[in-house]
Structure 1
Amino acid sequence: MRRYSIAGLLGLFGIFSLLVSCGRGGEIHSMPETQKEIVLIVKSKEGEFWNTVKMGAEAAATEFNVKLIFDGTTDEADVKSQIDLVNKYLAYGTNGLILAANDYTKLAPSVAKADRLGVPVVTIESEVNSPEVRSFIGIDNYEAGRQAALKMKELTDSKGRFIILNFVKGSRNAEQREKGIRDEWAATPGMQVVESAYCNSDSTRCGELTKELLDKHSDIDGILALNAAASIGAAEQLRSMQRDGEIKLVAFDNTPEELEWLQEGIIQATLIQNPFSMGYLGVKTAVEAMNRQSVPKKIDTGTKVIDAENMFWSDNQKMLFPFVQ
């Protein structure tokens, strides 16, 4: 019962309430504070990357004593379903929201709605074009694209014809990674992008598209696959066509399949992120925002180029397997 309700009752039954309180020693017992809740909504509930994000978030939820709800769509291209999920949890009454957005602009109204309701929003992995976002936690995707481009230049002696296998058209991460590649190669005439195509983060479709592109462009020197699904699809197809090693593959992320193919020489290098840290720092930062603490506007979780030579270095092992430390 709220204090103003008690005050109202005292006004009507002053003498009776005074006698009761004296009889009980005048003690007032407050209800214990309930555990706060944070909802983590990701692009897709499937895949190694998002499972690792979840592990990091769960570790932080235990440490900071908050209840964590993990949810997401089954398709990274399904923006409407993600918006519906955000609205559902806002109606339910969560205390904080962590969002890996499926769209840079279309999720902005949902973030504004959360802010009006007093629910702080932290974004991870993908940004949202909204000033109401308290903090973004993730990599610099433009710089990651540049690093991928530099590695491919090294692998091919700064010349060749290349395919960019991208994921979701319109995704800010996809656009920034590809822009980093193209800008890095702008001053190197020998590095030519013959085609860029999207496979919607479906590894089966990414493999099919890889075959279509290689049938169309038989003299390709390399493929840059810009997320895990694209990397897995491209690697499987190169192996199936027996063109692995002949066509250089620079990938993204560090699924178990990718690390195995890295050792086998099907993938020459991969750009790794730190999804465990994204999940952990997402919860930590959301808790701080819920407690009205100042939080950084951006936290760069870093990326690194991993190849067969450096993948067993101790520092790189910590990035590849952060959850076993």
Structure 2
Amino acid sequence: MAAGRRAHAVVAALATASVLTACGGGGVEAGSGGKPKLYFLPGVKDEPFYVTMECGAKEEAAALGYEFVAKAPAKFDADLQSPLVEDARKDKAAAVVIAPTDERKLIAPLKDLDRNGTKVVEVDTAVIASGVSASRVASDNAQGGRKAAETLIQLVGGRGKVLVLDTTLDTSSTNAREKGFAEVASANSKINYLGKKYTDNDPAKAARIVTQALTETPDLAGIFTTNLNTTEGAAAALRAANKVGQVKLVGFDASPQQVEDLRAGVVQALIAQDPAGIGRQGVQQVVAAVEKKPTKGEIKVDVVPITRDTMDQNSKYFYRKSC
């Protein structure tokens, strides 16, 4: 009997080792209950876009048998996010799904993960280096910018001065949205594109920029804001200046506040993403990489323009504050 038990134990140990190797390799470890760990590292804590993405990622990770660990920086800041990447490395996570907060500063931390056997998938944003992740899953941001321009041009009657509020210089997703917008706006001879201004992803700064723009350009016709924080700040400034409806506002994303502003007519259109779908696909891709199955190098998810007339039929794209 003792020999039989020893043989059984050896077989069990070999089976466990095989599972751990298949689920990560390179020194990764299983979490509680023997499940491999999957870290989700969004761009910032408590933002509805990332909360909604986390909901989709968490649901998919559970379905695929992974222990889900979510950690988010208090601000959209590489210096705050990098230590969380290091936590995943030290914890020997099998997988990391991350929205990099800086396209340059996160390169080295992500390469460290890869060297230590942790598989990485980038969602929403990405670093400028190749080879640090198995897949990149994001909205088609350039397409979203083009749709925003087409929508705003229609709202302003095809002519006038328009402005873009972007977030930061090194945020790949919002930069692509501005480029897509500029491509369409600059090609229209009756649209005077005033260029972009950076808000540092701060609603208060966005509001100050809009307030100043209204003073400097009293005939401003429209504004495109590249994410939810800039939209919320711009909407607040238009309310304070009694310019609601006079200056047309098209915002990227569909946070609860943005949806409320759309319904109230403060915002004329939203370009909504599918963050829950991005989260689910990000987890699917990173698990495929861990389990040595084929992955897709890039997945682009369509965006959806929403106006007050079409908001009820598109409510599935509205972001959440909790799962």
**TM-score computed with the length of structure 2 as normaliser:** 0.88
Distance in 2 (alpha carbons) for counterparts of 1:321 and 1:175: 22
Q: Could you tell me which residue of structure 2 aligns to residue 10 of structure 1?
A: none
Tell me, yes or no, if structure 1 residue 229 matches structure 2 residue 229: yes
Question: What is the DSSP-based 3-state SS (H/G/I as helix, E as strand, rest coil) of the residue aligned with 1:293?
Answer: coil
Question: What is the DSSP-based 3-state SS (H/G/I as helix, E as strand, rest coil) of the residue aligned with 1:40?
Answer: strand
Gaps of 5+ in 1: 1-18
Q: Could you tell me which residue of structure 1 aligns to residue 107 of structure 2?
A: 108
Matching residue's letter, 1:317:
S
**Change beyond 3 A, Cα 1:321–1:110:** closer
8 A contact 2:100–2:125 mirrored in 1? yes
What is the total number of aligned residue pairs between the two structures? 303
Q: Could you tell me which residue of structure 2 aligns to residue 35 of structure 1?
A: 35
| Amino-acid identity (%) | 24
Q: Could you tell me which residue of structure 1 aligns to residue 134 of structure 2?
A: 134
Tell me, yes or no, if structure 1 residue 84 matches structure 2 residue 83: yes
2:318 to 310, 317, 320: 320
Question: What is the DSSP-based 3-state SS (H/G/I as helix, E as strand, rest coil) of the residue aligned with 1:72?
Answer: coil
Distance in 1 (alpha carbons) for counterparts of 2:311 and 2:122: 29
Distance in 2 (alpha carbons) for counterparts of 1:267 and 1:97: 36
Distance in 1 (alpha carbons) for counterparts of 2:163 and 2:183: 15
8 A contact 1:159–1:190 mirrored in 2? yes
CA shift for structure 1 position 27:
3.9
For residues 1-325 of structure 1, the aligned pairs below 5 Å read 20-21=2-3, 27-28=8-9, 30-31=12-13, 34-76=34-76, 78-129=77-128, 130-313=130-313, 316-320=314-318
Gaps of 5+ in 2: 20-33
CA shift for structure 1 position 318:
2.8
CA shift for structure 1 position 216:
2.0
Matching residue's letter, 1:163:
L
Compare 246-255 and 41-50 and name the one that shifted more: 41-50
Matching residue's letter, 1:318:
K
Compare 30-39 and 149-158 and name the one that shifted more: 30-39
Distance in 2 (alpha carbons) for counterparts of 1:211 and 1:160: 18
Distance in 2 (alpha carbons) for counterparts of 1:112 and 1:149: 36
8 A contact 2:48–2:320 mirrored in 1? no
Aligned-residue Cα RMSD (Å) equals 2.2
Distance in 1 (alpha carbons) for counterparts of 2:140 and 2:227: 14
Matching residue's letter, 2:117:
G
Matching residue's letter, 1:30:
A
Which deviations, in whole Å up to 9, do the C-alpha atoms of 1:220-268 show, x marking residues without a partner? Answer: 0111111000001111111121110010000111111111111221111
Distance in 2 (alpha carbons) for counterparts of 1:189 and 1:30: 72
8 A contact 2:119–2:134 mirrored in 1? yes
CA shift for structure 1 position 174:
2.3
Which deviations, in whole Å up to 9, do the C-alpha atoms of 1:148-171 show, x marking residues without a partner? Answer: 001111111221011111112221
Distance in 1 (alpha carbons) for counterparts of 2:67 and 2:43: 20
Distance in 1 (alpha carbons) for counterparts of 2:254 and 2:245: 19
Distance in 2 (alpha carbons) for counterparts of 1:280 and 1:68: 13
Question: What is the DSSP-based 3-state SS (H/G/I as helix, E as strand, rest coil) of the residue aligned with 1:318?
Answer: helix
8 A contact 1:203–1:230 mirrored in 2? yes
Distance in 2 (alpha carbons) for counterparts of 1:21 and 1:259: 67
CA shift for structure 1 position 322:
9.2
Which deviations, in whole Å up to 9, do the C-alpha atoms of 1:10-34 show, x marking residues without a partner? Answer: xxxxxxxxx9516x59544625661
8 A contact 1:276–1:323 mirrored in 2? no
Matching residue's letter, 1:21:
A
Distance in 2 (alpha carbons) for counterparts of 1:323 and 1:172: 24
Compare 227-236 and 198-207 and name the one that shifted more: 198-207
Question: What is the DSSP-based 3-state SS (H/G/I as helix, E as strand, rest coil) of the residue aligned with 1:281?
Answer: helix
CA shift for structure 1 position 197:
1.1
Compare 286-295 and 31-40 and name the one that shifted more: 31-40
Work out which of the two has the higher radius of gyration on C-alpha atoms and give 1 or 2: 1
8 A contact 1:164–1:226 mirrored in 2? yes
8 A contact 1:56–1:323 mirrored in 2? no
CA shift for structure 1 position 279:
1.4
**Change beyond 3 A, Cα 1:321–1:52:** closer
8 A contact 2:47–2:321 mirrored in 1? no
